Amino acid sequence: MKIKYYGHAAFKITTDKGVRIIVDPYESGAFGGALTYGKITEEADVVLTSHDHDDHNYTKDIKGAFTQIKQAGVHNVKDIKIKAIPTHHDPSKGTERGNNLVFVIEADGLTLAHMGDLGHTLEKGTIGEIGKVDVLLLPVGGLYTIDAGGASRVMNDIKPAIIIPMHFKTEKCDFPIAKVEEFTAGKAGVKVAKTSEIEVNKAGLPAEPEIIVMKYAL
């Protein structure tokens, strides 16, 4: 499985059989130019959108005859199981910013979870529904999502082998959110990748949890 980080909360997952899944594509230039990551123009077979905000649901630049999934439930597309689990965009059960989907993708013998714009820590029932996760794509910037402390708790509750932070402030994201270093500070196993794409397989999973800060592609 290859994992490509476009920027913000947008990723492309490519399975060993070549199935391309794009998760939470943003609109380049959204929010009055506060989000300036480049346009996502690659082809996809499946597009997952966790909620209908412009930094997570923009599909117009994506090429290919893709299937879009934006509803809770269990979906099977091209022999890949995708579970969309309802959560909230805020700690007030969605009354502030609406609802959010957590996507759990099973492919290549791995389980990857993308947490979308999760705005709260997880109840035991949701942790059980998510299940065992190998790779966790986790928002860490705060304000619109869980902050560094909340993200640390979610990470510890899910216990993945690999954690990839997302949705944090960069020179291409002028949102009033925290930089990734607020989350990684003081943690063991932090690696800063020099690339925007990594390859993960079951046999190569680390024995101890690793936090991989990826370089954005666009």
Here the CATH number for the domain that contains residue 136 is: 3.60.15.10
pLDDT at 51: 97
| 54 in any annotated domain | yes
Residue 173 forms part of a structural domain:
yes
Q: Is 54 left (phi over 0), alpha (psi -120 to 50) or beta?
A: alpha
Residue 16 falls within a domain, yes or no?
yes
Domain that includes residue 42, residue range? 2-213
Q: Which two tokens stand for residue 174?
A: 């002028």
pLDDT at 34: 97
What pLDDT was estimated at residue 85? 98
Give me the percent of the chain exceeding a pLDDT of 90. 100
Indicate the pTM of the whole model: 0.97
Q: Considering the domain boundaries, does residue 122 fall inside one? A: yes
Positions of the chain with pLDDT under 50 = none
Q: What does the pLDDT read at residue 84?
A: 98
pLDDT at 12: 98
Q: Report the pLDDT value the prediction gives residue 18, as an integer from 0 to 100.
A: 98
Q: State residue 19's pLDDT score.
A: 98
Residue 120 confidence (pLDDT) = 98
Say what the pLDDT of residue 196 is: 98
Q: Is 170 exposed, middle or buried (0-12, 13-18, 19+ CB in 10 A)?
A: middle
**Could you tell me if residue 218 is inside a domain?**
no
| Residues near 55 by beta carbon (within 8 Å), at least 6 away in sequence | 8, 9, 24, 26, 27, 30, 31, 35
pLDDT at 89: 96
Q: Tell whether 40 is covered by a domain.
A: yes
Distance CA 58, CA 61 (A): 8
Asked if the structure places residue 26 within a domain, the reply is yes
The number of folded domains in the chain is: 1
